Structure 1
Amino acid sequence: MMMKTKILFLLLLAGVPCYAQNLTDQYFKLTRTGFIEKNAYETTAFVEKYFRVPGNTGFNASIRYVENILKKAGFVEQKQDEFEAPLTYRIEKRAMKNSTWEPVDANIHIIGETQPLISYQTNRNMIPINCGSTPVDGVTANVVYIEKIVPAEIEKMDLKGKILFSENNPSRLLQIATKAGAIGVLGYSMPKYTQPEIHQTSIQFGSMKANSEVWTLLLSYAAKEKLKAACLKGETKLKVNIQTKIYPSEELTVVANVKGSVKPDERFVFSAHVQEPGANDNASGVGTLAEMARLTAELYLAKKINPKRSITFLWGDEIVSTRRYITEDTTRAKGIMWGMSLDMVGEDTKKTGGSFLIEKMPDPSAIWTRGTDKHTEWGAGDVGEKDLFPHYFNDFIFDICKAQGKFANWTVNHNPFEGGSDHTPFLQNRIPGLLMWHFTDVFYHTDNDRIDKVSSTEMKNVAVSGLTAAYTLISADENTATATVSQVKEDALIRLKKEFELSKKAIANGKSADDQKHIIEVWCKWYVDALETINKMPVKTETTRVGSSIKFATNEIEKQTKVYLAELK
């Protein structure tokens, strides 16, 4: 009898992945068929028309555009409680401590030339956020080119009523310029990965101190080189005109909810930030998430999905809105089981470079970045062993994306944790959180990040992956959990083998065997602890099957780790 029971248990385990995969495949079919690329692209095109700062015309217009999509999809405006209906939305309004800002127009002319040196019509990032206006007719003044910033030497110059120009970020000269009586500062600041010598009209957006007496403007590589050549020839005079709006406003955030039928207080939260002026960053996130919400409502109303937990869709100010959503209501926060940020998800990689990336929660690759793992040009985060966040979410999402990648011939990669977007507040509050994005993007943060660089197909691939993962997780049962155990175990064994081979080479090259063993041990522990988190995946736990499968997988991982450690000498 004991033997028969054991065999039956193993057969059940063997059948689980297939059953769970069928459910995921069902969600893939629904999302692949239902996601309308045209909708996501049209929303992205609307949003990208505006230079979006919280509270300004473009930001608020984008929020209202999303609201209309939600209303047409069947979401009803929340009156008191977010679960008073199956599909609800609300717009949160908050008075802003500081005034909002928006650009209107700007241009720089070299006196004696017919064409402008640079214009807002082609370079809207030339005006830093918070920059004030010149008089309506503009100002005319001599420009002083400063090759090297030496404050003591600059302070000796006669700069009253003049314009400072340097090949540095203008913020570095703002204080000196103000003290010396200059009327404005022209600067240049483009990182190497944007390839400014090739993309010579690009300007990355920037900001300056609010209420400053001195204005600052940013130049493209082409404009900088032309002005520099003029200054080196002799006296150069410029006419500068800047028009901006600065006014009190309120900040808006949209929150939409699809109510879970069993555990509505447990949820998956998607977040896409509205502010920033680009098409990919992050109009593409806004447009993709809006279509994801529309499709979810459609599938729910057609009874094609029956979410056991809730899904929340959030649009607002980057990091600020997501952090507030998590921290303002501690009871609500306890029920957030997963968070996902959609940021720069529409890249036409043939034009922008790079690839789609999943930025992982902190795992050992963020500490020991080696082999095929690599940080992006955005830069590594400060991660130590105490910051590691073991969880199945990393591998679960990556495997979902790989499945979509195989289906759609879509390139899927990942990078170690770096931080800097809406996934960060989740992690800071010990909630599993991932970032869906693209890098390297040669047009990142530049005014060449326009709708022609956006791929509706790329947005669909991200959306299909994100929704399929969310639908699977919010209604996960024991079959889903045990299948995930098997999946994570296989991923762990692949990772350990890779790390073992890297450590073996490192020792052969003179590295400390103890240090290399430690890396293997940390990876082992990370995966063992990640497996344990699968216990909380099922909506209902009816047997000990999940716990047993975790124990079995843990033993395999630890056994293989011991073999590797014994071989590292």
Structure 2
Amino acid sequence: MKKLLTLSLSLLLLHAATSSLWAQPSAREKKYFNLLQKTFDEQQAYNTVWFVEQRWRLAGNSGFNESIYHVEKILQQAGYKKETDGEATGTLTYRIEKRPMKHKTWEPVDASLYIVGDKEPLLQFRTNRNMIAMYSASTPAEGVTAELVYIGKGSAKEWEGKDVKGKIVMGEAGIGGVYSNAMKNGAIGALAYSMHAYNQPTKYTNSIQFQGIGYTDSLRQKWGLLLSYAAKEKLKAAIAKGPVTVKVVVNTRIYESEELTLVANVRGKTQPNERFVFSAHVQEPGANDNATGVGTLAEMARTTALLVQKKKVVPQRTLTFLWGDEVVSTRRYIQDDTVRAKGIKWGLSLDMVGEDTQKTGGTFLIEKMPDPSAIWTRGEEKHSEWGGSPMKEEDMFPHYFNDLLLNRCLFEAANTGWVVRTNPFEGGSDHTPFLNARIPGLLMWHFTDVFYHTDADRLDMVSPMEMKHVAKSALATAYLLTTADNKTAVALINDITRNALKRLETEFNLSIKAVQEGNDKAKEKHILEVWSDWYIKALACTIDIPAGEAGRKVREAIEKAQQHIRQQTAVYISQL
């Protein structure tokens, strides 16, 4: 026992002596943050959001393509040159990849919904830009008028005895299912209401979340409209009084197109085949989702070009900026070139990164790569309302990237009051293709947003300063990793070790409480062991931080850090 207490005391003294040092950013990091504070122009980022959010964007449609070409102009003005012989043609290059689409694209033009007898429309596209279900066909120019049949939530029992042939169906369920069943039964169109509780539809009664219907062919395709809470309630009230007839006018375009992906590169000086890849998806019609990702990344690319041209930043590894179709473009970028994929060392997705949190209710989050918090979600850890599937120990992805990005964000927060949180891995955005390829990948985003995927996600919900916080933290992380020498690597290893010891302390306290409440002591020990193992393996990965061969001091720093973690874990387990 005496030996154990002595060991514990020595570790506590060591932690006290070093934690303040680890908490301080290096001179290089301070330099990067100062440069970014002066150079990143949040108003330019906001202007790009303004341009993009006006357009209803789906891969291949005019709004999507106009957004891509708008970012291209920003790159050109920043000094990026169009590739003539691959990425090696210069320090700043870009290309637009074009691929024929396997399916047609779609875009909305106009729509309106009337209760026959009312002078004013119940819904109109001008004020409810998500009211047309994606891949809806047009009605005749004069519209269609038919009786409305209500089928509740669309269960099999609720469909029984309903004659909907030549009529319009209304259901309180996702438009996909309502439309599909309506078409099978001879209806001419469908109305549907489906909103998540986090959208607070009874408060924001005119919100509509975008959804889509399946596409068959131009001859058989009909239409579906999405209802707001207010519209749904008014229709139900009218139905309760007797038969209701509605008039629907829909104007859309469905056509052959090509898919565009924009890729810009800042070529590394000594290790150009190793790269840090940023991605932001262009499709989806909202301002925060994801015009803010597009605008922030465009300004990040411009800022980086300026700093590189002035030799304020000299990347040894390549920085890549990618804009395209969510998941699809990122996955293709990884899979299309196996040689290039081997050099992708980190992937970072920007998805909904500019929210005015006072208006949306969202919180800035870093979605972590799978760590033990995705198995044992406890303490301050919690999933977003998007939710996550249960994970197993074999699903873990030990790596330092989680903590490295988090620490940069916390440094920005300490100086600005920015609120930074994390959530366990959930998936669903451009970080997942990286992880599926066993490449470290993270997501910067905001949730839970009451206006998520609704037509209220417009420019007035965007904060230029929120975009700047995200951009500074993301770029500082990328600059550190693409310019890292052995000295930087050692500093980052110490930084991550501090996180590891803090996490072990947190988990130990949670386990002590759990044991006191009657939980299985063996299980609690196992949780500590898994966290310890995760960080030991994560620190082993830091050997790749230097842009070049890792020297003796880096290897010694890793070994020393791992030993600290093993010792502290042993102390905690003995005290359970």
Question: Displacement of 1:278 after TM fit?
Answer: 0.4
Q: Which of residues 145, 164, 177 is equivalent to 1:159? A: 164
Question: Displacement of 1:20 after TM fit?
Answer: 7.0
Structure 1 contact 178–213 (Cα < 8 Å) conserved: no
Q: Distance in 2 between matches of 1:17 and 1:34?
A: 27
Q: Distance in 2 between matches of 1:157 and 1:259?
A: 64
For 1:360-407, what per-residue CA distance to the aligned partner results, in whole angstroms no more than 9, with x for missing partners? 111000110000000000011342111111111111110000000111
Q: Distance in 1 between matches of 2:22 and 2:496?
A: 12
Moved more, 77-86 or 365-374: 77-86
Q: Does 1:513 align with 2:513?
A: no
CA RMSD of aligned residues (A): 1.6
Q: Which residue of 2 aligns with 1:440?
A: 448
Q: Which residue of 2 aligns with 1:210?
A: 215
Question: Displacement of 1:565 after TM fit?
Answer: 0.8
Q: Which of residues 396, 400, 403 is equivalent to 2:404? A: 396
Match runs of 1:93-112 below 5 Å: 93-112=98-117
Match runs of 1:213-224 below 5 Å: 213-224=221-232
Q: Which residue of 2 aligns with 1:293?
A: 301
Q: Does 1:469 align with 2:477?
A: yes
Moved more, 45-54 or 144-153: 144-153
Q: Does 1:69 align with 2:77?
A: no
For 1:300-341, what per-residue CA distance to the aligned partner results, in whole angstroms no more than 9, with x for missing partners? 111111111110000000000000001100100111111100
Q: Which residue of 2 aligns with 1:49?
A: 54
Moved more, 507-516 or 54-63: 507-516
Q: Distance in 1 between matches of 2:110 and 2:519?
A: 58
Percent of aligned positions that are identical = 55
Structure 1 contact 405–411 (Cα < 8 Å) conserved: yes
Q: Aligned with 1:443: secondary structure?
A: coil
Structure 1 contact 155–180 (Cα < 8 Å) conserved: no
How has the CA–CA distance of structure 1 residues 85 and 303 changed in structure 2, closer, same or farther, with 3 Å as cutoff? same
Q: Aligned with 2:252: secondary structure?
A: strand
Q: Distance in 1 between matches of 2:427 and 2:75?
A: 30
Q: Which residue of 1 aligns with 2:422?
A: 414
Structure 1 contact 274–286 (Cα < 8 Å) conserved: yes
Q: Distance in 2 between matches of 1:554 and 1:272?
A: 35
Question: Displacement of 1:16 after TM fit?
Answer: 9.4
Q: Which residue of 1 aligns with 2:532?
A: 524
> 1:399 corresponds to which letter in structure 2?
N
Q: Which residue of 2 aligns with 1:450?
A: 458
Q: Distance in 2 between matches of 1:175 and 1:295?
A: 48
Moved more, 448-457 or 405-414: 405-414
Question: Displacement of 1:542 after TM fit?
Answer: 5.9
Q: Which residue of 2 aligns with 1:86?
A: 91
How has the CA–CA distance of structure 1 residues 95 and 71 changed in structure 2, closer, same or farther, with 3 Å as cutoff? same
Q: Which residue of 1 aligns with 2:14?
A: none
Q: Aligned with 1:126: secondary structure?
A: coil
Normalised by the size of structure 1, how large is the TM-score? 0.96
Q: Which residue of 2 aligns with 1:201?
A: 206
Question: Displacement of 1:179 after TM fit?
Answer: 2.3
Q: Distance in 2 between matches of 1:17 and 1:480?
A: 12
Q: Which of residues 243, 248, 264 is equivalent to 1:240? A: 248
- The number of aligned residues is 556
Q: Which residue of 2 aligns with 1:275?
A: 283
Q: Which residue of 1 aligns with 2:39?
A: 34
Q: Distance in 1 between matches of 2:557 and 2:20?
A: 13
Question: Displacement of 1:511 after TM fit?
Answer: 1.5
Question: Displacement of 1:19 after TM fit?
Answer: 10
For 1:50-89, what per-residue CA distance to the aligned partner results, in whole angstroms no more than 9, with x for missing partners? 1100000000000000000000000000012112111000
> 2:89 corresponds to which letter in structure 1?
E
Match runs of 1:359-370 below 5 Å: 359-370=367-378
Unaligned runs of 5+ in 1: 1-12
Structure 2 contact 22–498 (Cα < 8 Å) conserved: no
Q: Distance in 2 between matches of 1:442 and 1:421?
A: 19
Q: Does 1:429 align with 2:437?
A: yes
Q: Which residue of 2 aligns with 1:265?
A: 273
Moved more, 168-177 or 121-130: 168-177
Q: Which residue of 2 aligns with 1:340?
A: 348
For 1:426-457, what per-residue CA distance to the aligned partner results, in whole angstroms no more than 9, with x for missing partners? 11111111100001100000010000000000
Q: Aligned with 1:106: secondary structure?
A: strand
How has the CA–CA distance of structure 1 residues 15 and 436 changed in structure 2, closer, same or farther, with 3 Å as cutoff? closer
Normalised by the size of structure 2, how large is the TM-score? 0.94
For 1:121-178, what per-residue CA distance to the aligned partner results, in whole angstroms no more than 9, with x for missing partners? 1111111111111111000011012234332552532211111112212222223212
